[in-house]
Amino acid sequence: MSKSKPNEEEAESSEEVIETGVQSGPDGINRESLDEAIAALTPEQTEIFMRALAHTMRKRRLMLTGNLLALLVMVFGMIFAFFSYSSREPGSFAGWVFLIPFGGAGFSMWFFGKLAKRSGIKTHQALVKDSPFDLSKHNDNSSKS
């Protein structure tokens, strides 16, 4: 039985991670180069970047909250549906109870998606309005629908 050898590129990247202690992300940007790029920005640009990052993180938190709530609605809704289906009168139709968890999860995801979209629009408008740079030509009309 022969063991396969890792190719040279993988070995070099592993050695680089061991030497520098920093691993590149999926986009090829490591933390050190990101810190250097942020340090090279002017204070106004840094403020805009940090504000945009904070708004983006808020939007992602809203989406994550919606997805977690949808998961909880599905789990507890299915438990409720199985319980109510098992305690029904024989011969009566109660299959509709299995639609309730899907409706609740769908509503949760729709509602939090709307909140996140509204947050994204407000983020863009705030960045354009408060920016010391002329960002009005970059106004995205497609996000207002």
Percentage of residues in the chain having pLDDT higher than 70? 63
| Domain spans, the chain | 43-144
Instruction: Report the C-alpha gap between 17 and 22 in whole angstroms.
Output: 5
132 closest CA partner among 15, 51, 20, 22 = 51
Does residue 20 register a pLDDT over 70? no
| Predicted pLDDT of residue 74 | 96
Q: How far apart are the first and last CA of the chain?
A: 61
The pLDDT tens digits for 114-123 are 998 888 777 6
32-73 pLDDT, tens digit per residue, is 777 788 788 888 888 888 888 888 888 899 999 999 999 999
In terms of residues, how long is the chain?
145
Residue 135 has pLDDT above 50, yes or no: yes
Nearest to 122 by CA among 69, 62, 66, 64: 62
Position 70 scores a pLDDT of: 96
- Distances in whole angstroms, Cα of residue 55 to Cα of each of 31, 91, 141: 21, 54, 19
Q: What is the pLDDT of residue 112?
A: 93
Assess whether pLDDT exceeds 70 at residue 137. Answer: no
CA 4 to chain centre: 38
Question: What tens digit of pLDDT does each residue of 83-99 get?
Answer: 988 888 888 888 889 99
- Measured between alpha carbons, how far is 144 from 17 in angstroms, rounded to an integer? 43
pLDDT at position 110 over 50: yes
- HSE at residue 116, side-chain half, CA atoms within 13 A, is 18
Q: Are the beta carbons of 32 and 19 closer than 8 angstroms?
A: no
